[in-house]
Amino acid sequence: MVMTDIVAENPDRPGAAVATSVIDAKRRPLLLTWLRDPFLCLATFILIGVIVVAMAADLIYPGDPLDMVAQPLLWPVQDLNYPLGTDALGRDLASGIVHGARVSLLVGFFAALIGLVIGTTIGALAGYFGGIVDNVLVRLTELFQTIPAILLVIVILAIGDPSVFLIVLSIGLASWPMIARLARSQFMALREADFVMAARGLGYGTPRIILREILPNALPAIVVATSVLVANGILAEAGLSFLNLGDPNRVSWGSLIGSGRTMLRDEWYLTALPGLAIVLTVLSINIIGDRLTDILNPRSGER
């Protein structure tokens, strides 16, 4: 920690020094932290790459990835027009992966978002108010937690028409309990902090205390946990599509793996390449989420 100690006279009070010595917190510039961490750099590039590709899917590969465009079962690089090969029905695998990225990322992010919003709301209310409110909400959380997530999702999809929207909703509903527990424990701890008591003592209303005082301090931990949700959402979607429970009109990484399943012995690239896409994306998200903890927390409590 470096301190600059410039001491001058306080005009209001002769004899007392103006304590202008402010500690320049050794908050290393973000760029430096990022540059020093090779895994973090790689993970960021990969994730950004995947996002860009997904967004530009229609530009890179216009048309429907489910169109049969070429000779079936071409190996990667065999025909440079189809760099990643084709499947049993002559569909371009590269196009499939690029378009599939869209679905996987959409599902991952939005399912996580639903989990975040529901979980944080329930956890915050339970943690802050305690008492009966807490009891009721905790029971609710436990209810959703004890239902096996995969069953919940399958049941919801079986009832309705499998669409990306429904998949996002069902995965979100299965994943909010984890966030709720975390939010609840954060709020319970922060509720007792001196600065929250000070806020109450200053007459701040409850909404202000929850949203402006406690929530910003609880968010770092919650956000980090949410990054895990994103990764899980992508994996869940992949699993669902693999089981043919996904949206039949859309290609996703999971559906690609599913359709390539029967040819795993010989044309293994049909499962391996989409699988690799999933692994790289999920790994990158996990690495970034892991590093987020250090990045998001200011040096509170430094003595």
Partner 1 sequence: MILAQRPHPVLEVLDLRIGFPQGTAVHGITFAIEQGTTMALVGESGCGKSLTAFSILRLLPPTASILGGQVVFNGQDLATVSSRELRRIRGKGISIILQEPMTSLNPVLTIGAQIHEIIRRHERLSRRKAKSRAIELLDLVGISEPHRRYDQFPHHFSGGMRQRVMIAIAVACNPQLLIADEPTTALDVTIQAQVMELLARLRQQLSMAMLLITHDLGAVAQWADRVAVMYAGRIVEQASVNEFFAGAKHPYSQGLLNSSVGDGAHYTNRRLTEIKGSIASAAGATGCSFAPRCPAAVAACHGAQPALETFGPGTISDTWSVACSQLRFQKDRRDAVAVG
Partner 2 sequence: MPLLSVENLRTSYTSRGHTLHAVDGVSLEIGENETVGLVGESGCGKSTLGKTIVRLLRPSEGVIRLNDQDISQLGERSLRAVRRTVQMVFQDPFGSLNPRQRVGTILDTPLWVHGVKDAKARRRRILEIIGKISLPEAALQRYPHEFSGGQRQRIGIARALVLRPKLVVCDEPVSALDLSIQAQILNLLVDLKKDFGLAYLFISHDLSVVRYFADRVLVMYLGRVVESADHATLWRNPRHPYTRALLASIPSATLDRKPAAVLSGEAGQGIPERGCRFRARCPVAVKQCETDDPALRKLPDGSAVACHLA
The one-letter amino acid at 273:
L
**Residue of 78, 208, 264, 294 interacting with partner 2 (CB under 8 A):** 208
Q: Is 34 in the site for partner 2 (CB under 8 A)?
A: no
Contact 184, 126 (CB under 8 A): yes
Contact 187, 218 (CB under 8 A): yes
Q: Which is nearer to partner 1, 28 or 212 (CB)?
A: 28
Structural element, H or E, at residue 17: strand 17-19
Q: Is 303 in the site for partner 1 (CB under 8 A)?
A: yes
Contacts with partner 1: how many residues (CB under 8 A)?
Answer: 10
Instruction: Determine the Cα–Cα distance for residues 110 and 113; give it in Å rounded to an integer.
Output: 5
**Nearest-CA neighbor of 237 among 256, 264, 262, 260?**
256
Instruction: Determine the Cα–Cα distance for residues 153 and 155; give it in Å rounded to an integer.
Output: 5
Q: Which is nearer to partner 1, 7 or 133 (CB)?
A: 7
Question: Out of partner 2, partner 1, none, which partner does residue 2 contact, by CB within 5 to 8 A per kind?
Answer: partner 1
**Residue of 11, 16, 29, 300 interacting with partner 1 (CB under 8 A):** 16
**Residue of 12, 21, 182, 281 interacting with partner 1 (CB under 8 A):** 21
**Residue of 3, 158, 159, 202 interacting with partner 1 (CB under 8 A):** 3
Backbone φ, ψ for residue 176 (5° rounding)? -70, -30
Q: Which is nearer to partner 2, 212 or 261 (CB)?
A: 212
Contact 44, 286 (CB under 8 A): no
Instruction: Determine the Cα–Cα distance for residues 285 and 228; give it in Å rounded to an integer.
Output: 8
> Cβ 139 to partner 2, closest distance in Å?
21
Instruction: Determine the Cα–Cα distance for residues 72 and 184; give it in Å rounded to an integer.
Output: 53
Contacts with partner 2: how many residues (CB under 8 A)?
Answer: 38
Q: Is 17 in the site for partner 2 (CB under 8 A)?
A: yes
The binding site for partner 2 (CB under 8 A) comprises 3, 10-13, 16-25, 193-195, 197-205, 208, 212-213, 216-217, 298-303
* Interface with partner 1 (CB under 8 A): 1-3, 5, 7, 16-17, 19, 21, 303
